[in-house]
Chain A
Protein backbone atom coordinates (compact mmCIF):
# COMPACT_ATOMS: atom_id res chain seq x y z
CA UNK A 1 0.00 0.00 0.00
CA UNK A 2 1.21 3.50 -0.60
CA UNK A 3 2.66 5.44 2.24
CA UNK A 4 0.35 8.03 3.70
CA UNK A 5 1.38 11.61 4.23
CA UNK A 6 1.91 12.88 7.71
CA UNK A 7 3.58 9.67 8.77
CA UNK A 8 0.37 7.70 9.07
CA UNK A 9 0.92 3.97 8.96
CA UNK A 10 -0.90 3.03 5.84
CA UNK A 11 -0.79 -0.73 5.61
CA UNK A 12 -4.36 -1.72 5.05
CA UNK A 13 -4.42 -5.01 6.84
CA UNK A 14 -7.07 -7.19 5.35
CA UNK A 15 -9.88 -4.76 5.66
CA UNK A 16 -13.22 -6.30 6.55
CA UNK A 17 -15.53 -6.80 3.60
CA UNK A 18 -16.73 -3.37 2.59
CA UNK A 19 -17.49 -2.47 -0.96
CA UNK A 20 -15.49 0.30 -2.53
CA UNK A 21 -18.10 3.02 -2.87
CA UNK A 22 -19.68 2.31 0.47
CA UNK A 23 -17.62 5.04 2.10
CA UNK A 24 -18.92 8.47 1.19
CA UNK A 25 -17.80 11.99 2.09
CA UNK A 26 -20.10 14.99 1.71
CA UNK A 27 -18.22 18.25 1.21
CA UNK A 28 -14.94 18.91 -0.61
CA UNK A 29 -13.66 21.67 1.64
CA UNK A 30 -10.44 21.30 3.62
CA UNK A 31 -12.11 18.77 5.94
CA UNK A 32 -13.56 16.56 3.19
CA UNK A 33 -10.42 16.69 1.05
CA UNK A 34 -8.09 15.68 3.90
CA UNK A 35 -10.53 12.93 4.85
CA UNK A 36 -10.54 11.59 1.29
CA UNK A 37 -6.74 11.74 1.12
CA UNK A 38 -6.39 9.83 4.38
CA UNK A 39 -8.86 7.12 3.34
CA UNK A 40 -7.13 6.68 0.00
CA UNK A 41 -3.71 6.48 1.64
CA UNK A 42 -5.01 3.45 3.52
CA UNK A 43 -6.40 1.86 0.39
CA UNK A 44 -10.04 2.89 0.73
CA UNK A 45 -11.47 4.76 -2.23
CA UNK A 46 -14.28 7.02 -1.10
CA UNK A 47 -16.98 8.74 -3.06
CA UNK A 48 -16.66 12.51 -2.52
CA UNK A 49 -19.76 14.59 -3.20
CA UNK A 50 -19.73 18.38 -3.39
CA UNK A 51 -22.22 20.89 -4.58
CA UNK A 52 -19.75 23.42 -5.92
CA UNK A 53 -17.99 23.55 -9.27
CA UNK A 54 -14.47 23.06 -7.95
CA UNK A 55 -13.20 21.57 -4.70
CA UNK A 56 -11.60 23.72 -2.03
CA UNK A 57 -14.56 24.66 0.14
CA UNK A 58 -15.33 28.14 1.40
CA UNK A 59 -11.98 29.31 2.63
CA UNK A 60 -9.95 28.01 -0.31
CA UNK A 61 -12.62 28.61 -2.92
CA UNK A 62 -11.04 28.47 -6.37
CA UNK A 63 -11.47 30.91 -9.18
CA UNK A 64 -12.66 29.56 -12.56
CA UNK A 65 -9.99 27.59 -14.41
CA UNK A 66 -8.69 30.18 -16.85
CA UNK A 67 -8.47 33.08 -14.35
CA UNK A 68 -4.93 34.30 -13.85
CA UNK A 69 -4.49 35.73 -10.35
CA UNK A 70 -1.84 34.00 -8.26
CA UNK A 71 -2.57 32.03 -5.10
CA UNK A 72 -0.75 34.78 -3.22
CA UNK A 73 -3.10 37.41 -4.62
CA UNK A 74 -6.15 35.32 -3.77
CA UNK A 75 -5.28 33.79 -0.43
CA UNK A 76 -2.56 36.08 1.00
CA UNK A 77 -0.86 34.49 4.00
CA UNK A 78 -2.82 31.28 3.42
CA UNK A 79 -1.60 30.79 -0.16
CA UNK A 80 0.55 27.80 0.75
CA UNK A 81 -2.26 26.01 2.55
CA UNK A 82 -4.70 26.77 -0.25
CA UNK A 83 -2.34 25.39 -2.89
CA UNK A 84 -1.71 22.28 -0.85
CA UNK A 85 -5.45 21.58 -0.53
CA UNK A 86 -5.98 22.25 -4.24
CA UNK A 87 -3.09 20.03 -5.32
CA UNK A 88 -4.44 17.28 -3.11
CA UNK A 89 -7.92 17.34 -4.64
CA UNK A 90 -6.45 17.55 -8.16
CA UNK A 91 -4.34 14.46 -7.49
CA UNK A 92 -7.15 12.57 -5.76
CA UNK A 93 -9.62 13.12 -8.60
CA UNK A 94 -8.29 10.30 -10.73
CA UNK A 95 -8.25 7.82 -7.86
CA UNK A 96 -11.49 8.39 -6.03
CA UNK A 97 -15.09 8.79 -7.14
CA UNK A 98 -15.18 12.60 -6.99
CA UNK A 99 -18.47 14.19 -8.01
CA UNK A 100 -18.48 17.98 -8.10
CA UNK A 101 -21.67 19.95 -8.81
CA UNK A 102 -23.57 17.29 -6.90
CA UNK A 103 -25.99 18.42 -4.23
CA UNK A 104 -26.93 16.01 -1.46
CA UNK A 105 -30.52 16.99 -0.70
CA UNK A 106 -31.68 14.16 1.50
CA UNK A 107 -30.25 11.46 3.72
CA UNK A 108 -32.20 8.50 5.00
CA UNK A 109 -31.36 5.05 6.30
CA UNK A 110 -27.97 4.64 4.62
CA UNK A 111 -28.86 6.35 1.35
CA UNK A 112 -28.12 9.84 0.12
CA UNK A 113 -30.29 11.53 -2.48
CA UNK A 114 -28.28 13.61 -4.89
CA UNK A 115 -28.90 16.02 -7.72
CA UNK A 116 -26.43 16.53 -10.55
CA UNK A 117 -27.17 18.41 -13.74
CA UNK A 118 -30.88 18.39 -13.03
CA UNK A 119 -30.91 14.60 -12.51
CA UNK A 120 -31.62 12.85 -9.25
CA UNK A 121 -29.70 9.78 -8.11
CA UNK A 122 -29.20 7.74 -4.98
CA UNK A 123 -25.89 6.99 -3.34
CA UNK A 124 -25.95 4.21 -0.77
CA UNK A 125 -23.36 4.28 1.99
CA UNK A 126 -22.16 2.22 4.89
CA UNK A 127 -19.81 4.83 6.29
CA UNK A 128 -20.23 8.52 5.87
CA UNK A 129 -18.15 11.57 6.71
CA UNK A 130 -20.24 14.72 6.82
CA UNK A 131 -18.06 17.77 6.14
CA UNK A 132 -20.64 20.32 5.04
CA UNK A 133 -18.95 23.48 6.36
CA UNK A 134 -20.51 26.77 7.29
CA UNK A 135 -22.19 29.90 5.99
CA UNK A 136 -22.41 33.43 7.38
CA UNK A 137 -24.31 34.01 10.61
CA UNK A 138 -26.74 36.82 9.92
CA UNK A 139 -28.47 39.25 12.25
CA UNK A 140 -30.76 41.23 9.94
CA UNK A 141 -30.72 45.03 9.83
CA UNK A 142 -33.50 47.23 8.42
CA UNK A 143 -32.76 47.57 4.71
CA UNK A 144 -30.80 44.32 4.42
CA UNK A 145 -32.87 43.05 1.51
CA UNK A 146 -31.80 45.98 -0.71
CA UNK A 147 -29.62 45.25 -3.74
CA UNK A 148 -26.06 46.07 -2.74
CA UNK A 149 -26.28 44.43 0.69
CA UNK A 150 -24.43 41.13 0.91
CA UNK A 151 -23.10 38.79 3.55
CA UNK A 152 -19.40 39.16 4.39
CA UNK A 153 -18.75 35.77 2.85
CA UNK A 154 -20.56 36.88 -0.31
CA UNK A 155 -18.36 39.97 -0.56
CA UNK A 156 -15.30 37.74 -0.32
CA UNK A 157 -16.62 35.29 -2.91
CA UNK A 158 -17.38 38.13 -5.35
CA UNK A 159 -13.73 39.10 -5.13
CA UNK A 160 -12.04 35.68 -4.94
CA UNK A 161 -14.21 33.79 -7.36
CA UNK A 162 -15.25 36.57 -9.75
CA UNK A 163 -12.72 39.38 -9.42
CA UNK A 164 -15.49 41.84 -8.53
CA UNK A 165 -16.25 44.20 -5.66
CA UNK A 166 -19.85 44.37 -4.46
CA UNK A 167 -19.91 48.12 -5.16
CA UNK A 168 -17.92 51.32 -5.65
CA UNK A 169 -17.90 52.45 -2.00
CA UNK A 170 -18.23 49.53 0.36
CA UNK A 171 -18.93 49.45 4.11
CA UNK A 172 -18.08 46.30 6.10
CA UNK A 173 -20.03 45.65 9.28
CA UNK A 174 -20.76 43.05 11.95
CA UNK A 175 -18.04 41.18 13.79
CA UNK A 176 -15.74 38.19 13.70
CA UNK A 177 -12.35 37.60 12.08
CA UNK A 178 -13.80 37.70 8.56
CA UNK A 179 -14.80 41.35 9.05
CA UNK A 180 -11.25 42.69 9.04
CA UNK A 181 -9.96 40.07 6.63
CA UNK A 182 -12.48 40.86 3.90
CA UNK A 183 -12.15 44.63 4.37
CA UNK A 184 -8.41 44.23 4.01
CA UNK A 185 -8.72 42.02 0.92
CA UNK A 186 -11.01 44.59 -0.71
CA UNK A 187 -8.74 47.52 0.02
CA UNK A 188 -5.72 45.56 -1.24
CA UNK A 189 -7.53 44.68 -4.45
CA UNK A 190 -8.18 48.35 -5.13
CA UNK A 191 -11.76 48.72 -3.89
CA UNK A 192 -12.86 51.77 -1.91
CA UNK A 193 -13.60 50.71 1.66
CA UNK A 194 -15.69 53.50 3.17
CA UNK A 195 -15.59 52.16 6.74
CA UNK A 196 -15.39 49.09 8.96
CA UNK A 197 -18.15 48.99 11.60
CA UNK A 198 -17.32 46.44 14.29
CA UNK A 199 -20.10 45.63 16.74
CA UNK A 200 -17.65 44.44 19.37
CA UNK A 201 -16.17 47.01 21.73
CA UNK A 202 -12.42 47.51 21.83
CA UNK A 203 -12.40 46.43 25.48
CA UNK A 204 -13.60 42.96 24.46
CA UNK A 205 -10.59 42.50 22.22
CA UNK A 206 -8.21 43.52 25.00
CA UNK A 207 -9.93 41.11 27.36
CA UNK A 208 -9.53 38.28 24.87
CA UNK A 209 -5.80 38.73 24.39
CA UNK A 210 -4.59 36.09 26.86
CA UNK A 211 -6.64 33.34 25.18
CA UNK A 212 -5.73 34.55 21.69
CA UNK A 213 -2.04 34.36 22.48
CA UNK A 214 -2.42 30.59 22.33
CA UNK A 215 -2.31 30.88 18.50
CA UNK A 216 0.13 33.76 18.06
CA UNK A 217 0.36 33.59 14.25
CA UNK A 218 -3.40 33.74 13.78
CA UNK A 219 -3.62 36.58 16.26
CA UNK A 220 -0.79 38.40 14.51
CA UNK A 221 -2.58 38.17 11.17
CA UNK A 222 -5.79 39.59 12.66
CA UNK A 223 -3.88 42.50 14.19
CA UNK A 224 -2.04 43.02 10.93
CA UNK A 225 -5.23 43.38 8.85
CA UNK A 226 -6.55 45.90 11.31
CA UNK A 227 -3.39 47.93 11.51
CA UNK A 228 -3.08 47.89 7.73
CA UNK A 229 -6.60 49.28 7.31
CA UNK A 230 -5.95 52.07 9.80
CA UNK A 231 -2.59 52.87 8.21
CA UNK A 232 -4.29 53.14 4.82
CA UNK A 233 -6.87 55.59 6.06
CA UNK A 234 -9.84 53.24 6.36
CA UNK A 235 -12.01 54.39 9.29
CA UNK A 236 -12.58 51.58 11.80
CA UNK A 237 -15.35 52.09 14.37
CA UNK A 238 -15.93 49.77 17.31
CA UNK A 239 -18.86 49.18 19.61
CA UNK A 240 -21.23 49.95 16.72
CA UNK A 241 -24.91 49.04 16.52
CA UNK A 242 -26.10 49.11 12.90
CA UNK A 243 -29.29 51.15 12.81
CA UNK A 244 -30.42 50.83 9.23
CA UNK A 245 -29.33 50.61 5.62
CA UNK A 246 -30.96 53.22 3.43
CA UNK A 247 -31.93 53.21 -0.21
CA UNK A 248 -34.89 53.16 -2.57
CA UNK A 249 -34.16 50.40 -5.02
CA UNK A 250 -30.52 49.92 -3.97
CA UNK A 251 -28.20 50.92 -1.15
CA UNK A 252 -27.45 54.63 -0.77
CA UNK A 253 -26.19 54.84 2.81
CA UNK A 254 -25.99 53.39 6.28
CA UNK A 255 -26.55 54.77 9.74
CA UNK A 256 -25.36 53.41 13.05
CA UNK A 257 -25.36 54.11 16.74
CA UNK A 258 -22.10 54.39 18.67
CA UNK A 259 -22.52 55.21 22.33
CA UNK A 260 -25.21 57.88 22.27
CA UNK A 261 -24.23 59.19 18.86
CA UNK A 262 -26.01 58.49 15.58
CA UNK A 263 -23.73 58.52 12.55
CA UNK A 264 -24.35 58.25 8.80
CA UNK A 265 -22.27 57.41 5.81
CA UNK A 266 -22.91 57.41 2.08
CA UNK A 267 -22.12 54.09 0.38
CA UNK A 268 -23.48 51.98 -2.47
CA UNK A 269 -22.75 48.58 -0.94
CA UNK A 270 -22.55 47.00 2.49
CA UNK A 271 -21.41 43.56 3.62
CA UNK A 272 -22.18 42.24 7.08
CA UNK A 273 -22.29 39.12 9.24
CA UNK A 274 -21.63 38.06 12.80
CA UNK A 275 -19.23 35.17 12.35
CA UNK A 276 -20.44 31.83 10.96
CA UNK A 277 -23.08 29.14 11.43
CA UNK A 278 -22.64 25.43 10.81
CA UNK A 279 -24.49 23.72 7.99
CA UNK A 280 -26.18 20.93 9.99
CA UNK A 281 -29.22 19.84 7.97
CA UNK A 282 -27.70 16.56 6.73
CA UNK A 283 -26.57 15.54 10.21
CA UNK A 284 -30.13 16.26 11.33
CA UNK A 285 -31.72 14.14 8.58
CA UNK A 286 -29.27 11.35 9.42
CA UNK A 287 -30.66 11.29 12.94
CA UNK A 288 -27.56 12.55 14.73
CA UNK A 289 -28.00 13.72 18.32
CA UNK A 290 -27.71 17.47 18.79
CA UNK A 291 -26.62 19.42 21.86
CA UNK A 292 -26.63 23.11 22.69
CA UNK A 293 -23.26 24.75 22.22
CA UNK A 294 -22.97 27.93 24.24
CA UNK A 295 -19.77 28.83 22.40
CA UNK A 296 -21.46 28.67 19.00
CA UNK A 297 -24.82 29.84 20.38
CA UNK A 298 -26.34 27.04 18.33
CA UNK A 299 -27.53 23.44 18.42
CA UNK A 300 -24.84 21.26 16.93
CA UNK A 301 -24.58 17.57 16.10
CA UNK A 302 -22.54 15.94 18.84
CA UNK A 303 -19.25 14.24 18.02
CA UNK A 304 -16.75 12.52 20.25
CA UNK A 305 -13.15 13.72 20.34
CA UNK A 306 -12.30 11.37 17.47
CA UNK A 307 -15.10 12.60 15.17
CA UNK A 308 -17.83 9.97 15.64
CA UNK A 309 -21.42 11.20 15.60
CA UNK A 310 -24.09 9.49 17.70
CA UNK A 311 -25.12 7.42 14.66
CA UNK A 312 -22.99 4.39 13.96
CA UNK A 313 -20.97 4.76 10.78
CA UNK A 314 -21.54 8.50 10.55
CA UNK A 315 -18.59 10.82 11.25
CA UNK A 316 -18.51 14.60 11.45
CA UNK A 317 -15.62 16.84 10.45
CA UNK A 318 -14.94 20.51 9.95
CA UNK A 319 -17.02 23.62 10.50
CA UNK A 320 -20.27 21.75 9.79
CA UNK A 321 -20.19 20.44 13.36
CA UNK A 322 -19.03 23.65 15.09
CA UNK A 323 -16.98 26.61 13.89
CA UNK A 324 -13.25 26.13 14.37
CA UNK A 325 -11.72 27.50 11.17
CA UNK A 326 -9.77 26.21 8.23
CA UNK A 327 -6.74 24.65 9.93
CA UNK A 328 -8.97 22.75 12.34
CA UNK A 329 -11.09 21.58 9.39
CA UNK A 330 -8.06 19.96 7.77
CA UNK A 331 -7.13 18.23 11.02
CA UNK A 332 -10.69 17.14 11.77
CA UNK A 333 -11.03 15.67 8.28
CA UNK A 334 -7.90 13.59 8.67
CA UNK A 335 -8.92 12.58 12.19
CA UNK A 336 -12.44 11.50 11.21
CA UNK A 337 -10.98 9.40 8.41
CA UNK A 338 -8.47 7.75 10.77
CA UNK A 339 -11.25 7.02 13.24
CA UNK A 340 -13.42 5.53 10.52
CA UNK A 341 -10.53 3.37 9.32
CA UNK A 342 -9.78 2.26 12.87
CA UNK A 343 -13.43 1.36 13.43
CA UNK A 344 -13.31 -0.72 10.23
CA UNK A 345 -10.30 -2.65 11.48
CA UNK A 346 -7.62 -0.94 9.43
CA UNK A 347 -4.31 -0.43 11.13
CA UNK A 348 -3.88 3.28 11.76
CA UNK A 349 -1.31 5.51 13.38
CA UNK A 350 -2.91 5.97 16.80
CA UNK A 351 -0.26 8.48 17.88
CA UNK A 352 -1.20 10.67 14.92
CA UNK A 353 -4.84 10.45 15.90
CA UNK A 354 -4.05 11.50 19.47
CA UNK A 355 -1.84 14.34 18.26
CA UNK A 356 -4.63 15.64 16.02
CA UNK A 357 -7.05 15.54 18.96
CA UNK A 358 -4.57 17.49 21.07
CA UNK A 359 -4.13 20.17 18.40
CA UNK A 360 -7.88 20.46 17.91
CA UNK A 361 -8.37 20.98 21.63
CA UNK A 362 -5.84 23.83 21.53
CA UNK A 363 -7.69 25.48 18.65
CA UNK A 364 -10.92 25.11 20.60
CA UNK A 365 -9.40 27.18 23.41
CA UNK A 366 -8.35 29.84 20.89
CA UNK A 367 -11.89 29.80 19.56
CA UNK A 368 -13.10 30.67 23.04
CA UNK A 369 -10.80 33.70 22.91
CA UNK A 370 -12.26 34.76 19.55
CA UNK A 371 -15.73 34.60 21.07
CA UNK A 372 -14.57 36.96 23.82
CA UNK A 373 -12.98 39.29 21.26
CA UNK A 374 -16.04 39.30 19.00
CA UNK A 375 -18.93 38.70 21.39
CA UNK A 376 -22.39 37.96 20.06
CA UNK A 377 -24.47 41.16 20.35
CA UNK A 378 -26.93 39.85 22.92
CA UNK A 379 -29.04 42.99 22.76
CA UNK A 380 -29.77 42.51 19.07
CA UNK A 381 -33.28 41.10 19.54
CA UNK A 382 -34.30 43.81 22.01
CA UNK A 383 -33.24 46.49 19.52
CA UNK A 384 -34.80 44.94 16.40
CA UNK A 385 -37.77 47.12 15.35
CA UNK A 386 -41.14 45.46 14.63
CA UNK A 387 -40.91 46.52 10.99
CA UNK A 388 -37.61 44.65 10.43
CA UNK A 389 -37.95 41.92 7.79
CA UNK A 390 -36.36 38.89 9.47
CA UNK A 391 -37.17 36.22 6.86
CA UNK A 392 -36.28 37.46 3.41
CA UNK A 393 -37.91 34.50 1.61
CA UNK A 394 -41.36 34.71 3.19
CA UNK A 395 -41.00 38.39 4.14
CA UNK A 396 -41.90 37.87 7.80
CA UNK A 397 -41.22 40.80 10.13
CA UNK A 398 -39.94 40.87 13.71
CA UNK A 399 -43.36 42.25 14.70
CA UNK A 400 -45.15 39.24 13.18
CA UNK A 401 -42.86 36.88 15.08
CA UNK A 402 -43.53 38.79 18.31
CA UNK A 403 -47.26 38.64 17.60
CA UNK A 404 -47.00 34.86 17.27
CA UNK A 405 -45.20 34.72 20.60
CA UNK A 406 -47.88 36.96 22.12
CA UNK A 407 -50.41 34.34 21.00
CA UNK A 408 -48.66 31.84 23.25
CA UNK A 409 -46.16 30.10 20.97
CA UNK A 410 -42.48 29.91 21.85
CA UNK A 411 -41.13 26.66 20.39
CA UNK A 412 -39.31 27.66 17.20
CA UNK A 413 -40.80 24.98 14.92
CA UNK A 414 -44.26 25.88 16.17
CA UNK A 415 -43.58 29.57 15.57
CA UNK A 416 -42.41 28.65 12.07
CA UNK A 417 -45.65 26.78 11.39
CA UNK A 418 -47.69 29.73 12.64
CA UNK A 419 -46.01 32.69 10.93
CA UNK A 420 -43.89 31.02 8.21
CA UNK A 421 -40.57 32.40 9.45
CA UNK A 422 -37.84 30.00 8.27
CA UNK A 423 -40.26 28.16 5.99
CA UNK A 424 -39.02 29.67 2.76
CA UNK A 425 -36.56 28.49 0.19
CA UNK A 426 -33.46 29.05 2.29
CA UNK A 427 -34.88 26.82 5.03
CA UNK A 428 -33.95 29.29 7.72
CA UNK A 429 -30.26 29.45 6.78
CA UNK A 430 -30.45 33.25 6.72
CA UNK A 431 -33.17 33.95 9.30
CA UNK A 432 -33.31 30.95 11.64
CA UNK A 433 -30.86 32.30 14.15
CA UNK A 434 -32.45 35.77 14.19
CA UNK A 435 -35.94 34.30 14.57
CA UNK A 436 -34.74 32.20 17.49
CA UNK A 437 -33.24 35.25 19.17
CA UNK A 438 -36.49 37.20 18.78
CA UNK A 439 -38.64 34.33 20.07
CA UNK A 440 -36.36 33.87 23.08
CA UNK A 441 -36.36 37.56 23.89
CA UNK A 442 -40.10 38.02 23.38
CA UNK A 443 -40.98 34.95 25.44
CA UNK A 444 -38.49 35.67 28.20
CA UNK A 445 -36.59 32.43 27.63
CA UNK A 446 -32.97 31.56 27.07
CA UNK A 447 -32.11 31.00 23.37
CA UNK A 448 -31.18 27.44 24.26
CA UNK A 449 -34.75 26.86 25.49
CA UNK A 450 -36.87 27.66 22.43
CA UNK A 451 -35.94 24.56 20.45
CA UNK A 452 -34.07 23.83 17.28
CA UNK A 453 -35.26 24.47 13.74
CA UNK A 454 -35.51 21.01 12.13
CA UNK A 455 -33.89 20.22 8.82
CA UNK A 456 -36.27 19.00 6.14
CA UNK A 457 -35.71 17.29 2.82
CA UNK A 458 -35.06 18.58 0.27
CA UNK A 459 -32.53 20.67 2.19
CA UNK A 460 -32.24 22.95 -0.82
CA UNK A 461 -34.96 23.59 -3.40
CA UNK A 462 -35.09 21.16 -6.32
CA UNK A 463 -36.18 21.98 -9.84
CA UNK A 464 -39.75 20.95 -10.60
CA UNK A 465 -40.27 17.28 -11.34
CA UNK A 466 -37.01 15.97 -9.91
CA UNK A 467 -38.58 14.05 -7.06
CA UNK A 468 -41.02 12.47 -9.48
CA UNK A 469 -38.14 11.15 -11.60
CA UNK A 470 -37.03 8.88 -8.81
Chain B
Protein backbone atom coordinates (compact mmCIF):
# COMPACT_ATOMS: atom_id res chain seq x y z
CA UNK B 1 0.00 0.00 0.00
CA UNK B 2 1.13 3.53 -0.73
CA UNK B 3 3.22 5.39 1.81
CA UNK B 4 3.14 8.86 0.23
CA UNK B 5 -0.02 10.75 -0.61
CA UNK B 6 -0.22 13.09 -3.57
CA UNK B 7 -1.68 16.45 -2.59
CA UNK B 8 -0.91 18.62 -5.60
CA UNK B 9 0.45 18.65 -9.17
CA UNK B 10 -1.60 15.65 -10.19
CA UNK B 11 -2.17 16.59 -13.83
CA UNK B 12 1.18 15.52 -15.21
CA UNK B 13 2.12 13.08 -17.95
CA UNK B 14 2.04 9.45 -16.83
CA UNK B 15 5.34 7.60 -17.22
CA UNK B 16 5.29 3.81 -17.32
CA UNK B 17 8.15 1.94 -15.66
CA UNK B 18 8.92 -1.48 -14.28
CA UNK B 19 9.15 -2.19 -10.57
CA UNK B 20 10.61 -5.57 -9.60
CA UNK B 21 9.59 -6.88 -13.00
CA UNK B 22 5.98 -5.70 -12.72
CA UNK B 23 4.43 -2.85 -14.71
CA UNK B 24 4.11 0.36 -12.69
CA UNK B 25 3.59 4.03 -13.38
CA UNK B 26 4.56 7.42 -12.03
CA UNK B 27 4.23 11.02 -13.12
CA UNK B 28 6.69 13.17 -15.01
CA UNK B 29 8.75 15.07 -12.44
CA UNK B 30 8.50 12.30 -9.83
CA UNK B 31 11.67 11.11 -8.21
CA UNK B 32 12.04 7.33 -8.20
CA UNK B 33 11.22 7.52 -4.49
CA UNK B 34 7.92 9.27 -5.16
CA UNK B 35 7.01 6.98 -8.03
CA UNK B 36 7.61 3.86 -5.93
CA UNK B 37 6.22 5.07 -2.60
CA UNK B 38 2.96 6.45 -4.01
CA UNK B 39 2.18 2.81 -4.80
CA UNK B 40 4.27 0.75 -2.37
CA UNK B 41 5.54 1.13 1.17
CA UNK B 42 9.25 0.40 0.97
CA UNK B 43 12.31 0.94 -1.21
CA UNK B 44 14.82 -1.58 0.05
CA UNK B 45 15.77 -3.94 2.82
CA UNK B 46 18.37 -2.82 5.34
CA UNK B 47 21.92 -4.09 4.88
CA UNK B 48 22.16 -6.17 8.03
CA UNK B 49 18.67 -7.33 8.91
CA UNK B 50 16.67 -6.92 5.72
CA UNK B 51 14.12 -4.69 7.44
CA UNK B 52 12.02 -2.53 5.15
CA UNK B 53 13.30 1.00 4.56
CA UNK B 54 11.71 3.84 2.63
CA UNK B 55 14.37 6.57 2.74
CA UNK B 56 14.57 9.10 5.52
CA UNK B 57 16.06 12.48 4.57
CA UNK B 58 14.98 13.02 0.94
CA UNK B 59 18.03 15.29 0.54
CA UNK B 60 20.75 12.86 -0.44
CA UNK B 61 22.25 12.58 3.04
CA UNK B 62 21.07 9.33 4.68
CA UNK B 63 21.72 6.97 1.73
CA UNK B 64 18.78 4.81 2.82
CA UNK B 65 16.93 4.97 -0.48
CA UNK B 66 19.22 3.15 -2.89
CA UNK B 67 17.54 1.15 -5.65
CA UNK B 68 18.98 -0.75 -8.58
CA UNK B 69 18.33 0.19 -12.20
CA UNK B 70 18.12 -2.07 -15.24
CA UNK B 71 21.61 -1.09 -16.40
CA UNK B 72 23.09 -2.26 -13.10
CA UNK B 73 23.56 1.20 -11.60
CA UNK B 74 22.59 1.79 -7.99
CA UNK B 75 21.09 5.23 -7.44
CA UNK B 76 19.52 7.23 -4.65
CA UNK B 77 15.79 7.11 -5.30
CA UNK B 78 15.26 10.50 -3.63
CA UNK B 79 17.59 12.35 -5.96
CA UNK B 80 16.95 10.58 -9.28
CA UNK B 81 14.07 11.61 -11.52
CA UNK B 82 11.87 8.93 -13.03
CA UNK B 83 12.35 8.28 -16.73
CA UNK B 84 9.90 6.42 -18.92
CA UNK B 85 10.43 2.66 -19.11
CA UNK B 86 13.20 2.50 -16.54
CA UNK B 87 13.50 -0.83 -14.70
CA UNK B 88 13.72 -0.38 -10.95
CA UNK B 89 14.58 -3.23 -8.63
CA UNK B 90 14.26 -3.09 -4.89
CA UNK B 91 16.99 -4.99 -3.12
CA UNK B 92 16.01 -7.20 -0.19
CA UNK B 93 19.10 -6.40 1.88
CA UNK B 94 20.61 -9.05 4.10
CA UNK B 95 18.63 -11.10 6.56
CA UNK B 96 20.54 -12.54 9.48
Query: B residues near A, CB below 8 A?
Result: 3-10, 12, 28-31, 34, 38, 41-42, 46-49, 51-64, 73-74, 79, 81
Contact = CB atoms under 8 A, between A and B. Distances in A.
Nearest to A162: B34
Contact of B8 (A135, A163, A392): A163
Given A154-B58, A164-B38, A147 B4 contact: no
A157 B57 CA distance: 9
A68 B59 contact: no
Given A162-B34, A164-B34, A395-B47, A463 B5 contact: no
Which of B28, B48, B49: most chain A Cβ within 10 A? B48
Interface string A45-74: 000000111000010000111111100000
15 contacts: A66-B28, A145-B46, A148-B41, A153-B58, A162-B4, A162-B34, A163-B8, A165-B7, A168-B5, A189-B8, A191-B5, A250-B42, A279-B61, A392-B62, A424-B47
Contacts of B61: 135, 279, 426, 429-430
Tell me if B's interface is mostly helix, strand, loop or mixed: loop
A258 to B, nearest CB: 26
Nearest to A251: B3
Interface string A218-258: 00000000000000000000000000000001100000000
B58 A150 contact: yes
A154 B55 contact: yes
Interface of A: 51-53, 58, 63-69, 118, 135-136, 144-151, 153-154, 157-159, 161-168, 189-191, 249-250, 269, 279, 392-395, 424-426, 429-430, 460-461, 463
A157 B62 CA distance: 14
A190 B64 contact: no
A227 B60 CA distance: 33
Contacts of B4: 158, 162, 164-167
A159 B48 CA distance: 31
Tell me if A's interface is mostly helix, strand, loop or mixed: loop
Given A64-B81, A249-B52, A136 B6 contact: no
Which of B30, B48, B62: most chain A Cβ within 10 A? B62
Contact of A165 (B5, B31, B55, B63): B5
Nearest to A394: B48
Contact of A151 (B30, B57, B73): B57
Given A167-B3, A426-B61, A463-B74, A162 B56 contact: no
B31 A166 contact: no
A186 B55 CA distance: 19
A249 B50 CA distance: 11
Nearest to A151: B57
B51 A460 contact: no
A247 to B, nearest CB: 10
Contact of A147 (B5, B9, B10, B54): B54
Given A69-B8, A136-B57, 5 more contacts: A53-B81, A145-B51, A150-B57, A189-B8, A460-B60
Contacts of B31: 161-162
A146 B31 CA distance: 20
Contacts of B29: 63-67, 162
Contact of A250 (B3, B12, B28): B3
The 4 closest A-B pairs by CB, nearest first: A147-B54, A64-B29, A163-B9, A154-B58
